[in-house]
Amino acid sequence: MHATPTPATAPNHDPLRQNGRPVLNDPNGDFARHYNRQSFCFEHGLKGNPLFELDSLVELSKRLPAHPDFAYWSNGRVSINDPWEKGMAERYSLQDTIRGIADNNSIVIMKHTEQDPVIGPVLQEILSKFVEYSGAQMRDDVIVGESLILVSSPNRITPYHFDAELNYLVQVTGDKTFHVFDHTKAQQVTDEELEGYFSGAPSAARYGEAKQAHATVYDLKAGQGIHIPVTAPHWVQNGDNISVALSINYELKSVAQRAKSYWLNHRLRKLGINPSSPGRSAMLDGMKAASATSLQGLRGLLKPAPPPPTWQVWTPR
């Protein structure tokens, strides 16, 4: 039987202040100016917060529902172009992976942590802060937000990939070299990669030496964070120390719409057609989205998917 967890927030304690300073601040308006346009580095005050010490994270992992949507972990060496499945076939338990993270060359991603009774209240406040700083352009587009906690070994690589979610990577412990690529440049992320990704291939992004010259490289320290626009490719090399980071993610309405065009284009390309990229014609994008919705609905009737598990989600106020 588990003891009742203690919430992180006590009366009269502001979870967004640490040592009297705000955990997040935006004196220059960077969040609104760069929102989903380009990566940038920001400062935060979560460094050294005991909620993110390894013992606390082991306890957090025990509180997560025993469902694969709540935790991903991978053991052993990976390289830049490896898929997410690498290192999952035979692996330590989730708790043993976190306890041994100093030596087992692993990464752990704990998901939906904003719903946790202990750490969740702080993470929900942070989810709200990024929206507040970015303004209506973000608030009006967000469907749901989620906080992931990433724990990874010294010198571990996170393979090259991009995500469908808008992201703020908040480095709490350790340092890393973070390589980000421009999501608006076709040389750095191609339509074929995006079409594959939005058709169900999460490792569709392909790294190449020629791309590396275009990377923006951040020497990220604990106490700093990076904004990563939707589908901006990135890969990470940890420093010689344990890394703990938050990945604050948001699903956007605009991306869900664009994903339908990529999904349809993937099928058109397989038929030998060279489809136009989304974003060139609002009318064409609308027609493609409607066609994709119809086709996906038809596929769902022919081959019903199991209902997704349900849990509480965070949405902007």
- Integer angstrom CA distances of residue 78 from 87, 106, 138, 169, 271: 8, 9, 34, 21, 35
The one-letter amino acid code at 2 reads: H
Range in contact with Fe ion (rule: CB under 5 A) among 66-74, 141-149, 160-168, 271-279? 160-168
In whole angstroms, give the CA distance from residue 286 to residue 278. Answer: 10
- Integer angstrom CA distances of residue 79 from 76, 303, 307: 10, 36, 35
In whole angstroms, give the CA distance from residue 108 to residue 265. Answer: 34
Range in contact with Fe ion (rule: CB under 5 A) among 65-73, 135-143, 159-167, 176-184? 159-167
Q: Does 163 bind Fe ion (CB under 5 A)?
A: yes
**CB of 249: closest distance to Fe ion in angstroms?**
9
The site for Fe ion, by CB under 5 A, has a size of 1
HEC profile of 83-129: CCCCCCCCCCCHHHHHHCCCCCCEEEEECCHHHCCCCHHHHHHHHHH
In whole angstroms, give the CA distance from residue 126 to residue 52. Answer: 15
Nearer to Fe ion, 84 or 92 (CB): 84
> Pseudo-torsion of CA 106, 110, 111, 114, nearest 10°?
-140
Nearer to Fe ion, 163 or 195 (CB): 163
DSSP string, 1-35: -PPPPPPSPPTT--TTEETTEESB--TT-HHHHHT
Q: Which residues pair with 169 in a beta bridge?
A: 226, 247
Q: Does 116 bind Fe ion (CB under 5 A)?
A: no
Range in contact with Fe ion (rule: CB under 5 A) among 75-83, 105-113, 140-148, 163-171? 163-171
Nearer to Fe ion, 141 or 163 (CB): 163
Range in contact with Fe ion (rule: CB under 5 A) among 40-48, 93-101, 115-123, 161-169? 161-169
Count Cα neighbours of 303 within 13 Å in the Cβ-side half-sphere.
3
Q: Which residues contact 30 (CB under 8 A, 6 or more apart)?
A: 40, 42
Nearer to Fe ion, 156 or 288 (CB): 156
Nearer to Fe ion, 163 or 191 (CB): 163
Range in contact with Fe ion (rule: CB under 5 A) among 18-26, 28-36, 162-170, 180-188? 162-170
Using the CB atoms, write b or e for 156-169: b if 16+ within 10 Å. Answer: bbbbbbbbbbbbbb
**CB of 234: closest distance to Fe ion in angstroms?**
6
Nearer to Fe ion, 158 or 265 (CB): 158
Q: Does 146 bind Fe ion (CB under 5 A)?
A: no
**CB of 284: closest distance to Fe ion in angstroms?**
29
Nearer to Fe ion, 73 or 288 (CB): 73
**CB of 152: closest distance to Fe ion in angstroms?**
12
Give me the 254-293 binding string for Fe ion, x by CB under 5 A, dash otherwise.
----------------------------------------
Nearer to Fe ion, 163 or 182 (CB): 163
Tokens describing residue 313: 């989600």
Binding residues vs Fe ion (CB under 5 A): 163
